[in-house]
Homo-oligomer: A and B are copies of this chain.
Amino acid sequence: MFQVTRRSAMKIAALAAAASSMGQAAFAAEPSILPSWVDGDAKARIIDFVSATTTEGGPDFVEPADRVAVFDNDGTLWGEQPMYVQLAFALDRVKQLAPQHSEWQTTEPFKSVLAGDMAGVAASGERGLIELVAATHAGMSTEEFERIVSDWMESARHPASGKPYTAHIFKPMVELIDYLKSNQFEVFIVSGGGVEFMRPWTERVYGIPPQNVVGSSIKTRYELRDGVPAIMRLPEIDFIDDGLGKPVGINKFIGRRPIAAFGNSDGDFEMLEWTTAGPGRRFGLIVHHDDAEREKAYDRDSHFGRLARGLDEAPARGWTVVSIKDDWKLVYPE
């Protein structure tokens, strides 16, 4: 994977150098760039930003070392409807483990999970969610958890399409990741999701290696099990990489302020604010879920109302709002 990335980077670095010296026109005229994007304002803004920051000698040129781009995952790189994929994983784990936990028949949030009563699960609140994470994400080694996640991603199916969840990645966004990488941007995922839930498959699905994935985490402990070293997952939250936590996570794991940030909910607001408040040319983008036909039209009334602020302030902050309905020719890979 890395080899391929490296090789393609070599090939494309030359192209990019040539193209960028020609400026935006060269890109706009190049049909192979962002093929799933409608030739509209959003696509033009992306190409203009990349062209400006990669044109040597230009006023907005950014050294490759500083070309850091961060992407949210749920709702930005893949679907988060009807529920976060990681929540679907947790619910399946509860059903799978229930035979060894007869007490779950009478204790929340497990009782509601087993009854398929999502309202009951939600009613158990944050404490219920943490118990759910502890019961389904902890108590095994990191390598055992990686296998559990990989096996589930292979077998689980999206309730609407009957396809694997990885079939619900947003093709236009994956094209955007490749476009940035081909212009010597280093791309990171910065997600509220669990880092060890994402790392087993992000390289295969998005071309983003484990070390470029930042997310929420639980505590772990190094120990010898029968003399064999293992890193055990503990039932204790370590870091929540969401909202105010995203700039903190970016600073902790990446150590550079990005120049481009891509999100879809107000859990991404501070990440976009931190990124675009820096000096020099910056780029912020919000994926606007307004396509009732091909995905789902949900926004202000979802994410516990956490989408309103970013959409309201996007114009004043110069952030690009992408309409799935109008800006994407395709939503999912075919």
Residues of A bordering B, CB below 8 Å: 1-3, 6-7, 9-10, 13, 63-65, 67-68, 142, 184, 186, 188, 195-196, 199, 203, 209-213, 217, 220-222, 228-229, 231, 238, 244-248, 251-256, 270, 273-274, 277
Contacts and interface: CB of A to CB of B under 8 A. Distances in A.
| Copies of this chain present | 2
Given A142-B251, A221-B244, A222-B248, A2 B209 contact: no
Contact of A231 (B7, B188, B221, B247): B247
Contacts of A184: 2-3, 6
A18 to B, nearest CB: 15
Contacts of A63: 1-3
Contact of A13 (B6, B196, B212): B6
Chain A interface, >50% SS class? helix
A248 B236 CA distance: 14
A2 B253 contact: no
- Top 10 nearest A-B pairs (CB, nearest first) are A210-B255, A2-B65, A3-B64, A222-B247, A2-B64, A1-B65, A10-B10, A199-B255, A229-B277, A222-B244
B221 A273 contact: no
